Amino acid sequence: MLAINIWPQIKNNLPNVQKPAQYIGGEYNQISKDPAKVAASMAFCFPDTYEIGMSHLGLRIIYEAINAEDDLLCERVFAPQADMEAKLRQQHLPLFSLENHRPLAEFDLIGFTLQYEMSYSNVLNMLELAEMPLLSDQRNSWPLVIAGGPCVYNPEPLSDFIDIFVIGEGEQVVIELMRLVKEVKIANGDKQELLNRALKIEGLYIPCFYKKVATKNGIIIREPQSGQASAVVKKRLCADLDKSIFPLKALLPNIQAVHDRLMLEIMRGCGRGCRFCQAGVIYRPIRERNLNLLREQARQLVAATGYEDIGLLSLSSADYSCISELIDMLIADHSCSNVGVALPSLRVDAFSVDLAAKVQQVRKSGLTFAPEAGSQRMRNIINKGVSEEDIFAATEAAFSQGYTAIKLYFMIGLPYENNEDVAAIADLTQRILYAGKNVKPAEIRKPLKLTLGVASFVPKPHTPFQWHGADGEDVLKEKQELLKKQLRPIKSITMNYHDITTSLLEAAFARGDCRLGKVLLRAHAKGCRFDGWKEFFRADLWEQAFEEEGLDYRQIAAQTFNHEDALPWQHISSCVDSDWLWQENVKAADGQPTVDCRNGECNCCGVCSNLDAANVLAQKAGDDHE
């Protein structure tokens, strides 16, 4: 196929759109290849704006992994903002990649990362802008549409649109898939041949090989149509992070990204076992990178960019085995160049505050803690592993070191929660504030300020709380009002809370089955897009789309399941045993704890035996690294 050069037309539109630099490509450290000289190509599509997508480490890892292969190519695509979308539609221009400004239809694979359910409408919008049929059974030739990311652990709401779902960590499996694309193309094979052969690659869910089956509790599940397809698709795992690829020449965005810093991934997985947390399940087991390797990676990253902060990324960075030593190393190596270290995630304890004090020797910022619940009863139920003493030790240590602004994150609507537990959030916050006023800081400071982020609990697949429904709209409103009433008189406390309708829609798409595909198609046709943005979200259009399909998102979000019930996502395996998740749910009802498995006590969740893997903890400095 001859390449279509649409860059001149795109360029003519740039003076008339906001932030035109997000559409031009050519960033420092961009990887550019001649599309005519590669055997297979993929457009990596992030279904949100450039400034958000360029903050995503997964994009950078996949981009690096594919482009490290001489005969493979990966280019980036982001959702255009409203003004550029209008220009594309008016001038009948297709959505394009940044590196070579190629139309998406010229690639062999179009790959979406699914980080958030409320971005699903953007997936359809981007396919439409690419001038491709939205439904997979209407696409009979190249390119294939694939998807990965945490949302694919329940792929069914998008199963009518996606040809292949990549379950688990993608940097290895995507190379295997693109090698297969190369083989099929050389043999002049078609889309169906590729799908048939892709069944042999572990970690791929291909919906066309599964039939839809109605169950007695009213949901639709998937079962294999033939012996070729596996009844359960197990996730893929990078068992050794030290040997996996990592981008050491970071792309520098043309405009400021949301998280505008170096990204150093220090570990994957978390052993804390918070019962609401999907990431804590799907990224098991724990895998830490070697300390010396991280030090060298940081040196190369700093040398390849001009960033002033190194972000230590993981689900819980303070849990990294050698975190103090790592921070000391990085400060010693880079503070003379005014390059600081950032800890995006902190435990709620005084140790984390000490770490924060270390990293902020170079540049000081605010602190964020996530107690998640106000009462000890609820913290035990969710297995947070944080006591009230821990919370006060952390906040008082912060105040004593001169911090005057602290953010606290809580959830309402958790399973087994009552109004007393909600009121405890306000009570705990007030007591933190009053305790802070009695702390004598090391230096003169501004008045104290606490900012509360209060999210509505969204039950997610593959967690101990996957069987629970979300609280109803009226109940969530009542809980929000209870908090606002108690906190409104206190000017030093600011409360931000999530939109209830958005949270319930998120819950519906997180837990729903393939019927939601028709709702999504209707919502897209009505103009829904950027649904995670307050200024674009149209609750009325979503209401109409659900009503026209005879479904109720509130009912789907609130639906509870028994242990024996079929689940829409039961054919997708995180490799954590379902029976173990259920036992965690039973323990939650009694407030029984489950200890962190990294301390040597196996919790028998099944992930290590199911994947022939194990927790991998970092070696101390000076140890040999192979």
- For the segment 85-99, the average pLDDT, to the nearest whole number, is 97
Q: What is the mean pLDDT of residues 560-581?
A: 97
Query: What share of the chain in percent tops pLDDT 70?
Result: 96
Domain membership of residue 15 (yes or no) is yes
Model confidence band, residue 438 (pLDDT cutoffs 50, 70, 90): confident
| Cβ 295 vs Cβ 618: under 8 Å | no
Q: How much of the chain, in percent, has pLDDT values that exceed 90?
A: 83
Separation CA 49–CA 84 (nearest Å): 11
Say if residue 522's pLDDT is above 90: yes
Average pLDDT (173-187) is: 97
Q: Domain end: 196, 216, 234, which one? A: 234
Cα radius of gyration rounded to whole Å, the chain = 24
Q: Kindly state the average pLDDT of the residues 576-604.
A: 93
Both 218 and 342 in one domain: the answer is no
Q: Residues 391-422: pLDDT tens digits?
A: 999 998 888 888 888 999 999 999 999 999 99
pLDDT over 90 at 25, yes or no: yes
CATH code, domain carrying 272:
3.80.30.20
Asked if the model's pLDDT at residue 624 lies above 60, the reply is: no
Q: What is the pLDDT of residues 161-175, one digit of tens each?
A: 999 999 999 999 999
pLDDT of residue 447: 84
The phi, psi pair for 114, rounded to 5°, reads: -110, 95
Mark whether 196 and 270 lie in a shared domain. Answer: no
The Cα 248–Cα 268 span in angstroms is 18
Confidence of residue 475 (pLDDT cuts 50, 70, 90): very high
φ, ψ (nearest 5 deg) of residue 284: -70, 155
- Residue 227: which pLDDT band, with cuts at 50, 70 and 90? confident
**pLDDT of 1:** 43
DSSP state of 402: T
Same-domain check for residues 184 and 329? no
Do 228 and 281 lie in a common domain? no
In this structure, the answer to whether residues 327 and 448 fall within a common structural domain is yes
CATH number, residue 81? 3.40.50
In which band, very low, low, confident or very high, does the pLDDT at 445 lie, cut at 50, 70 and 90?
low
CA dihedral for 608, 611, 613, 616, sign (positive or negative): negative
Q: Using CA atoms, how far apart are residues 439 and 403, in angstroms rounded to an integer?
A: 11
- Which segment of 114-118, 153-157, 453-457, 485-489 scores lowest on mean pLDDT? 485-489
Where does a domain end: 234, 253, 278?
234
Cα 63 from Cα 31, distance rounded (Å): 9
**Amino acid, res. 371:** P
Residue 144 within a domain: yes
Residue 233: predicted pLDDT = 98
Same-domain pairing of 145 and 216? yes
Residue 625 is assigned to a structural domain of this protein: no
Is residue 27 included in any domain, yes or no?
yes
Lowest mean pLDDT across 163-167, 361-365, 426-430: 361-365
- Of 191, 217, 234, the domain-final residue: 234
Overall average pLDDT of the 331-360 stretch:
84
- Give 357's pLDDT tier (boundaries 50, 70, 90): confident
In this structure, the answer to whether residues 151 and 76 fall within a common structural domain is yes
> Do 140 and 193 meet the contact criterion of CB atoms below 8 Å apart?
no
Average pLDDT score over residue span 47-74: 97
Q: Is the pLDDT of residue 106 over 90?
A: yes
Is 599 within the bounds of a domain?
yes
Query: Per-residue pLDDT averaged across 340-368, rounded?
Result: 78
Mean pLDDT of the chain: 93
For residue 562 the two structure tokens come to: 């028994």
Q: What is the average per-residue pLDDT within 363-380?
A: 88
* pLDDT number for residue 397: 87
Report pLDDT for 375.
Answer: 97
Count of domains forming the chain: 2
Kindly indicate the confidence band of residue 3, based on its pLDDT and cuts at 50, 70 and 90. Answer: low
Q: Are residues 344 and 384 in the same domain?
A: yes
Structural domain of 356: 261-498+576-611
Q: pLDDT band at 625, cuts 50/70/90? A: very low
Backbone phi and psi for residue 576, each to the nearest 5 degrees, phi listed first: -95, 130
Give me the pLDDT at residue 598, please.
84
Residue 240 lies in a domain: no
Q: What is the pLDDT of residues 526-563, one digit of tens each?
A: 999 999 999 999 999 999 999 999 999 999 999 999 99
Does 6 score more than 50 pLDDT?
Answer: yes
- Residue 526 included in any domain: no
15 and 147 together in one domain: yes
Which class for 603: exposed (0-12), middle (13-18), buried (19 or more C-beta within 10 A)?
A: middle
Query: What does the pLDDT read at residue 361?
Result: 67
Q: Answer yes or no: do 216 and 292 share one domain.
A: no
Q: Taking CA 57 as the corner, what is the angle to CA 54 and CA 63, rounded to the nearest 5 degrees? A: 80
Give the CA distances from residue 437 to residues 431, 434, 593, in Å, rounded to whole numbers and listed in that order: 10, 5, 33
Residue in 106, 103, 76, 109 with CA at minimum distance from that of residue 88? 103
pLDDT over 60 at 108, yes or no? yes
pLDDT band at 2; cut points 50, 70, 90: very low
Question: Per the domain annotation, does 533 fall within a domain?
Answer: no
Q: Assess whether 209 and 79 both reside in one domain.
A: yes
Q: Does one domain contain both 161 and 291?
A: no
